[in-house]
Amino acid sequence: MMAVDVAGDSERQLGTLQSGILYGVSVGPGDPELIAIKGVRILQQADVVAYPSGRDGEPGLAERIVAPWLQPKQIRLPLYFSFARVPDIQQQAWTAASDCVWEHLKSGRSVAFACEGDAGFYGTFAYLSQTLRLRYPEARIEVVPGVISPIAAAAALGIPLVARDRKLAVLPALYAVGELEQALDWADAVVLLKVSSSYVQVWDILQSRDLLASSWVVVRATQPGQEILADLRDRRDLKLPYFSLLVVQTRSPIGLHTSQ
Amino acid sequence: MMAVDVAGDSERQLGTLQSGILYGVSVGPGDPELIAIKGVRILQQADVVAYPSGRDGEPGLAERIVAPWLQPKQIRLPLYFSFARVPDIQQQAWTAASDCVWEHLKSGRSVAFACEGDAGFYGTFAYLSQTLRLRYPEARIEVVPGVISPIAAAAALGIPLVARDRKLAVLPALYAVGELEQALDWADAVVLLKVSSSYVQVWDILQSRDLLASSWVVVRATQPGQEILADLRDRRDLKLPYFSLLVVQTRSPIGLHTSQ
């Protein structure tokens, strides 16, 4: 418990001990090497390292990415976040987690929370940090940004996601068909996150617009078992895992001699 | 010139030497610590490290980020890319650069090109890699993804860029007003890159939609001299530098107890 030693008993008795900082450390989409240098430094300097607890006794993705960087003296704090889709139950879990984090912060210990992908891009960290802010407005919070899955997927595909004057739209899993149509009308590159549950509907729309040949599914981008499915014209029947995203280029693939 | 030693003269005489790989290494938005561990490894293993040459004798941003990681034995290759907005002149520069890179690759040397931000997100690397591919289809190219400026800006602002079911739109500098209106209709978070040239027009549109209080300008995100301008209601007269982006939340800021 480094920070307590550093702060010293006399400081605490005088009531001048400053609370620790909660860091949202973005660990990237899966490849352990995609964490930023800054993320590693913050993780190694933190008194407490938190992460979402795994399921079925297995460590979670964020925990696996950060584990090799940690020291034995650091406190490890798995936080339980309900997977139930019941708002009240989820909120109870976030409240318990933020209270637990606050206990460390108010004792002067810094807490680094490891978050898959980027902490501000559909990340679990938003729930933790906002619950903490509501309950303890004096909490100090900082974010170390990271690599997001659409960017990792484009790198895996070997295509620029966007260039020049092209426009990008990103939709999470819960989109309505109308929202997808609008995105395809408007943007030059469209990324659909967690596409598995709506894949067939999406496929039908892409077919009606003749976009299947310029669409790609990336499964588990940069994780073990990464798969790339190119040219979706004959692939209406795909059974996709949860970590699947779809990239659509609505204009001709970016070239150097096309008129844009 | 490590790779030449490794390959050996006999292999080259037999014509079996494999060409080197061109890596697009994304170095992030400016903070040197935001490069990924993988990017550092690739940079340190490469025989040749390339980057856009600086202006006025000063090193460029990408060069400054990677310089501390390089070894004296590595070949440094500044590549000149014209800043003229004349397509033919730009293309000549990309052609010369890709030919220069190919000379190294075909001799078996790996080349790591350091690219600001992410190589596939409005990055200079797209031009280099596509010119190379057109001229030398056998070239092997890989990308190490990185942190993009909208994600870095949101981290600096301390807000999640997107969460839950929210949708994201990103527009580069050259948008038309109509495209911006559509983006504001459709998305929950809109990011305008390089907003300086169109700032007054954008401000007028945001005012007409009552969105100025939930808009932020981030200047030089994560770079020295980073500035954050919050609540733009009284700020129609801003003179912004080139590296300025604007983040708009079109719905109420993300909260935990709103009905979404």
Domain boundaries along the sequence of chain B: 2-144, 149-249
For B229, residues 6+ apart whose C-beta sits below 8 A from its C-beta are: B216, B217, B218, B219, B235, B238
Using CB atoms and an 8 Å cut-off, which of residues 169-198 of chain B contact chain A? 169-175, 179, 182-183, 186-187
Query: One-letter amino acid identity for A45?
Result: Q
Check if the interface score ipTM surpasses 0.95: no
B2-144 fold: Cobalt-precorrin-4 Transmethylase; domain 1 (3.40.1010)
Report yes or no: B133 at the A interface, CB cutoff 8 Å: no
Please judge whether A255 and B168 are an interchain contact, meaning their C-beta atoms are less than 8 angstroms apart: no
Q: At what angle do helices A199-208 and A177-186 cross, to 10 degrees?
A: 40
Please judge whether B151 and A126 are an interchain contact, meaning their C-beta atoms are less than 8 angstroms apart: no
Q: Do domains A2-144 and A149-249 have the same CATH topology?
A: no
What is the reported pLDDT for B2? 35
- Token pair, residue A84, equals 């139930």
Torsion of CA A50, A24, B254, A169, to 10 degrees: -120
SS3 A114: strand
* Shortest distance, CA B256 to any CA of chain A (angstroms): 7
The answer to whether A114 and A25 have CB atoms below 8 angstroms apart is yes
- Phi, psi dihedrals of residue A80, rounded to the nearest 5°: -90, 120
The answer to whether A30 and A222 have CB atoms below 8 angstroms apart is yes
Residues in chain A with CB shorter than 8 Å from the CB of B35 are 36-37
Mean pLDDT of B174-190: 93
* CATH architecture of the domain covering B149-249: 2-Layer Sandwich (3.30)
What is the reported pLDDT for B6? 41
C-alpha B38 chain-centroid distance: 17
What is the reported pLDDT for B103? 98
Work out the widest C-alpha separation in chain A, in whole angstroms: 72
Q: Across chain A, how many H-helices and E-strands are there?
A: 9, 10
Query: One-letter amino acid identity for B1?
Result: M
Mean pLDDT of B165-171: 96
Q: DSSP label at B237? A: T
**From CA B22, how far away is CA A109, in angstroms rounded?**
44
For A180, residues 6+ apart whose C-beta sits below 8 A from its C-beta are: A171, A190, A192, A202, A205
DSSP β-ladder status, A244-249 and A189-192: antiparallel
Q: DSSP label at B162? A: B
Query: What tens-digit pLDDT sequence spans chain A (260 residues)?
Result: 333 344 444 444 555 678 999 999 999 999 999 999 999 999 999 999 999 999 888 999 999 999 999 999 999 999 998 777 788 898 999 999 999 999 999 999 999 999 999 999 998 899 999 999 999 999 999 999 999 999 999 999 999 999 989 999 999 987 888 999 999 999 999 999 999 999 999 999 999 999 999 999 999 999 999 999 999 999 999 999 999 999 999 987 655 443 33
Using CB atoms and an 8 Å cut-off, which of residues 35-64 of chain A contact chain B? 35-38, 40-41
SS3 A98: helix
Task: Indicate the helix (H) or strand (E) that contains B6.
Answer: helix B2-7
